[in-house]
Amino acid sequence: MHINDFGFLRVAAASPKLRVADCDFNTAEIKSVLERAAREEVQLICFPELCITAYSCGDLFFQEALQRKAVASLTELAAFMKGKPSLIAIVGLPLRIQSSLFNMAAVISSEGILGFVPKTNIPNDREFYEKRWFAPAADLSDFSVEIGGEDVPISPEGMIFHTPFANFGIEICEDLWMPVPPSSRLALQGADVLFNLSASNELVGKNRYRKSLVLQQSGRCNAAYVYASAGCGESTTDLVFSGACFIAENGTMLAESKRFSLGSELIIADIDIDALRHDRLMNTNYITVATDSTTEIDCEIEPVTPEKMYRIFHPHPFIPSKESAEENLSEVFHIQTHGLAKRLQHTGVERVAIGVSGGLDSTLALLVTIKTFDILGLPRENIAGITMPGFGTTDRTYGNAIALMKASGVTVKEITIVDAVKQHFSDIGHDMNDHSITYENSQARERTQILMDYANKIGGLVVGTGNLSELALGWATYNGDHMSMYSVNTSVPKTLVASLVRWIADTQMEESSRRILHDVLDTPFSPELLPAGTDGKIAQKTEFFVGPYELHDFFLYRMLRYGDHPRRILLMAQQAFTSVYEPEVILKWLKVFYKRFFSQQFKRSCLPDGPKVGSINLSPRGNWRMPSDAVATVWLKELENYSGQQNPEY
């Protein structure tokens, strides 16, 4: 599998064992790490600041012997790289140009030494006295230097290195801590990956702040940020270094090193270049600015075909991690409740009608409504919870619906739809034994009619229960459960509904309601529009017809959040669900997803109002604007003649 064909680039940050001023030892360790990186098919690797000599050489930097040895070691490393056409390395060294010494980053590959990038901001504070030894980039008067008979370019304004798979730029240590880091400008000039060669000492609490800088800069720049810092081999005369290394992508940490390691540290991650470029494309304020002052370097690296990926694709992207669950789920619940609260205040309505089936979606909508009424100081009795048993209603869902409403203190209404639907069948000449779409949709529309009319009767509005996943698949009856007067679940995907209900049950509800909610959570997804089985249990299970919601939510997230093409989504889904679904099963449901997503857009073009809770939303007034007549041909053709084998090459 060529990961570059799918928009990924393998990068690494390294903190090798070092000895202060021992260039031979340091070069040998750098070579050792490069060998490891090459075996792992790394394509771009960053080492710490001044790693060839070590950072903490002090006045030894003025010694011509050390200066000459550093350049000789760089030449040795460049020769070593000749046999590694798929790898580019960035190393640090002191470089004398005329009468000044510069703190340099050198980019080396199988093509030789590609370029030098000087440090822009030179610290001169209580801990670092670099201005004693090094001049800032602005002092450069030459724009190339001869190394081994070759003129190597230098740019005081920075460099953009262009590879076949991504562009990258470089800054050094202190540059990141400035109000406007050079990497911000480099990103606007097209750098997808930003490297930082650093020598950042340890202080209590400093690592947390340093990590936040890396995360924030990667997020602000819509870029990957690869940070490599000096390790324990540096002098400890006054400061201690830990070898902190980070790889962040657009505000998310992909990898970080073990600090205070006595050995060499190497961290690796596969950067999603396509996703970064998609975000820049979607951000209309992100305008690439070309300048004459920035040097642009073309460099070659070969594609790689690793056996595994250094990246985790979370199978449930909408479900927050354990660490952030409390905060994120609370925010979703607050957005839903306050969205409904504003609508009630604006309309002056103090009563609502809501269909309660005993399923997850209506349960969540009911819980949101109850919380909203509590916030507004309205009596829960003003909530008319209406259960409307039909031909497929089971004792379990009916019992849970009644029990939950009674335990919550809302007004309970039971209105059977059986006789009304039979009359309707008679009116339109439909055979009761014909369990076609007419049989199903007539029930959904009858329930919606009851809700709308009852809301009129009590001077209220109808709270909708449908979720984001159903809207994506069109798994809703047009002008049936598709319609309401305010839809609180409209941007909550099915996989998140369960997590949210469980969180509400465990943190917001009394024990009597909690037991009911946990039983609702254990109930299979079903619209219950077909008769129950002979055992009285649900016969019509949604996921049997449309496929697993966890797959569809994954497809939806990748398509809308990152604009991923079908085979890229397929690759990621195979990685995420490798032990859950066979590749051909994932392929089958991905095709179903595209067919339904395109054919059902007309239902999304006229959605009722509802609050946006996350980055994915299908409201025609918000994130997603798509013509109802668009066809899926381009997407489906990409999946034609494909067997679904694991980790395909294209």
Query: Which sequence positions are flagged as catalytic?
Result: 49, 119, 173
E-assigned strand segments in 356-460: 383-387, 411-414
Spatial contact of 523 and 360, defined as CB atoms under 8 Å apart: yes
Backbone angles phi, psi at 147, to 5 degrees: -130, 115
Backbone angles phi, psi at 296, to 5 degrees: -115, 130
Spatial contact of 618 and 472, defined as CB atoms under 8 Å apart: yes
Give the separation between CA 43 and CA 26, rounded to whole angstroms: 21
Give the separation between CA 95 and CA 70, rounded to whole angstroms: 8
Give the separation between CA 434 and CA 602, rounded to whole angstroms: 26
Spell out the residues 6+ positions from residue 197 whose beta carbon is closer than 8 angstroms to its own.
46, 47, 48, 49, 50, 51, 90, 91, 92, 105, 170, 172, 173, 228
Q: Is 352 left (phi over 0), alpha (psi -120 to 50) or beta?
A: beta
Give the separation between CA 286 and CA 102, rounded to whole angstroms: 32
Question: Does the CA dihedral 466-467-471-474 come out positive or negative?
Answer: negative
Element (H, E) at 402: helix 395-408
Spatial contact of 513 and 636, defined as CB atoms under 8 Å apart: no
Spatial contact of 494 and 472, defined as CB atoms under 8 Å apart: no
Give the separation between CA 286 and CA 280, rounded to whole angstroms: 6
DSSP 268-285: EEEEEHHHHHHHHHH-TT
Give the separation between CA 147 and CA 150, rounded to whole angstroms: 5
Sequence length of the chain is 650
DSSP 505-561: HHHHS-HHHHHHHHHHHTSPP----S---TTSS----HHHHH--HHHHHHHHHHHHH
Residue carrying structure tokens 């009851």:
450
The separation between the first and the last C-alpha atoms of the chain, rounded to the nearest angstrom, is 8
E-assigned strand segments in 307-409: 352-355, 383-387
CA nearest neighbour of 261 among 494, 14, 455, 83: 14
Give the separation between CA 431 and CA 439, rounded to whole angstroms: 9
- Residue 650's CB: how many other CB atoms inside 10 A? 11
Beta strands at 100-109 and 461-464: parallel, antiparallel or unpaired: unpaired
